[in-house]
Amino acid sequence: MEYPAERMKLYSISSKSLDGYIGLNLHPSKEFQENVCDAVNRICSFLKENCKLDKDTRVIKAIKAGSTGKGTTLDMSSDVDLVIFFSCFSSFQDQVEKREHVIKEIEKNLNRCIQTIAFKVDISPPRKKGTRSLQLHIQAKKKKELVEVDLLPAYDALGEESGQITFSYVPPTKIYTELIEANGQPGEFNTSFTELQRNFVKRCPAKLKDLLRLVKHWYKEIKQSSKSFKLPPKFALELLTIYAWEEGTGKEQFNTAEGFCTVMKLITQYQHLCLYWTKYYNLDNSQVGLHVKGKLKESRPVIIDPADPTANVAKANMGAWDLLAQKASDCLTQPCCMKDEQPIEPWNVQPTRGIKVTVKQPTGATEDISCNPFDPIRQIKERFEKDGGICELYWEETLQEKTALQNDKRLADYGIFFDTTFLLYITSQTLNIFVKDLKSRSTNYTVSSSETVLGLKKMIEARTGVVVNQQRLTYQDKELEDGKTLAYYKIRSNDTILALYP
């Protein structure tokens, strides 16, 4: 059952009151934070001190993930993911082969000690065979609230002490080539990069974290009112919010309503979303670059995990995104997105970043052009056709196919969402054109596209006897200048030029 939009309290809040609404309703209370922290500390202590595992299995480190680790917790609502790095995993493949056994061992230890440990633990049965986590509900003996914790065993791919993985840390490229070579399911090993995922969000300024809380709160409300539908992953909306801020302002202080409206608008444009970041990996390495470029060609929306290039976190069926887009469109008409009864103007943020295209000519000359991936190929070519000649563009990465890029296609149609290089060839083309006089008599001429208007006039003089200085030629209501080429005016085969002469 779906509830009408007015049932959501957020929709009764004015846009100027959003900051106050976040502060009063969404920030976690001190007591709730302490309860979550207590639950996490208790389970960590148990795993390190009382959990008897195989002799070659010990806890290397435990990392808080989810909203708790990122610093975007909502009051009374916290997804606590506790990623446990074990010494028995020496590779990604090890994690696949041994993870289920480790989960069963932890569960066995908890059941063995459940009466003696200083807190209550309820263990949820695995949802399916091959599950990647163990879900616990933890309650301190003197507290009423239950805290839901997901334990996720992981391979320590980064191999660094927790304190060394700072906001500026960048992993060696080798880690990502090994990840790609492991050939797991998309995002299967993202727990190995938990610290990077956490830092990517945790580094955000305080007000951006509040915007993240607001978007997550909206998402939670939509999810509760649409229980019969499966929505796209919440992490996709978190990354979309960060992208909107990066492209829209990038400042620590901003208008919350404008930011919120920008995210809602981007959700309605989900079919064009194609986002990735190069904070932890880039496209310079051939193996990583090839993999990421392949992901960018997948059906949109595409939002690639900044820490794990194998994961498109926006992956969901179109019905899920359709529903979310409808809800976002509805949200944009609510008081929280209006000012003086007019829609708030969102930031000027496109569904994908602009890119730099380097156009290289056979002479060696190059020119850099800023493009939007949804620009048509024709638009790039027109920059070079003004001096005459017919332009053909070839994508350097697929030059071996020897297929020119088509005029009516867009960069996005070729999966080009990144800086790249095109090779430009300018050639003359033989045109078959018609010259029509005032008596509607048409004469056929075969000319080169690089022929000047003056050259055409001389051909007309040779055939009709009308001297050059008595001729006026027009095309599409524009008089043609003697020094310009036919290509300059974009005259094509079978086009008709009007001739005005005695």
The residue extents of the domains of the chain are 9-343, 355-428, 430-500
Give the per-residue pLDDT at 389: 61
Tens digit of pLDDT for each residue in 314-350?
999 889 999 999 999 999 999 999 999 999 999 999 9
Mean pLDDT of 435-450: 90
Same fold, 9-343 and 430-500: no
Pairing of the two strands 355-360 and 420-427? parallel
Q: Which of 207, 176, 213 is nearest to 304 (CA)?
A: 176
For the domain spanning 430-500, the CATH number is 3.10.20.90
Q: How many residues does the chain have?
A: 502
21 touches 70 (CB < 8 A): no
388 touches 350 (CB < 8 A): no
> 3-state class of 342 per DSSP?
strand
Give the per-residue pLDDT at 4: 43
Distance separating alpha carbons of residues 220 and 230, to the nearest angstrom:
12
Distance separating alpha carbons of residues 295 and 102, to the nearest angstrom:
32
Q: Quick one: CA torsion of 350, 356, 357, 359, rounded to 10 degrees?
A: 140
Tens digit of pLDDT for each residue in 7-47?
589 999 999 999 999 999 999 888 888 878 887 888 888 88
Distance separating alpha carbons of residues 108 and 89, to the nearest angstrom:
20
For the domain spanning 355-428, the CATH number is 3.10.20.90
Distance separating alpha carbons of residues 107 and 103, to the nearest angstrom:
6
* Whether pLDDT at 2 is above 60: no
Distance separating alpha carbons of residues 240 and 256, to the nearest angstrom:
15
Q: CB neighbours (10 Å) of residue 416?
A: 23
Quote the strand ranges of 361-440, DSSP E.
Answer: 366-371, 390-395, 420-427, 430-436
* Whether pLDDT at 436 is above 60: yes
Better-predicted residue by pLDDT, 426 or 177: 177
Distance separating alpha carbons of residues 18 and 24, to the nearest angstrom:
10
Tens digit of pLDDT for each residue in 461-489?
999 999 999 999 999 999 999 988 887 78
Q: Which residue(s) pair with 475 in the sheet? A: 478
Peptide bond into 301 cis (omega under 30): yes
Mean pLDDT of 224-242: 90
Predicted TM-score of the model (pTM): 0.83
* Whether pLDDT at 270 is above 60: yes
Better-predicted residue by pLDDT, 140 or 346: 346
Q: Which of 273, 381, 275, 388 is nearest to 324 (CA)?
A: 273
> Which residues, in sequence order, are CB contacts of 115 under 8 Å at separation 6+?
none
Better-predicted residue by pLDDT, 416 or 148: 416
Better-predicted residue by pLDDT, 487 or 285: 285
pLDDT, the chain, mean: 88
Tens digit of pLDDT for each residue in 60-86?
998 988 888 888 988 766 668 899 999
Q: What percent of the chain has pLDDT above 70?
A: 91
Give the per-residue pLDDT at 1: 37
Q: Which of 461, 211, 244 is nearest to 336 (CA)?
A: 211
Give domain 9-343's CATH superfamily. 2'-5'-oligoadenylate synthetase 1, domain 2 (1.10.1410.20)
109 touches 122 (CB < 8 A): no
* Whether pLDDT at 151 is above 80: yes
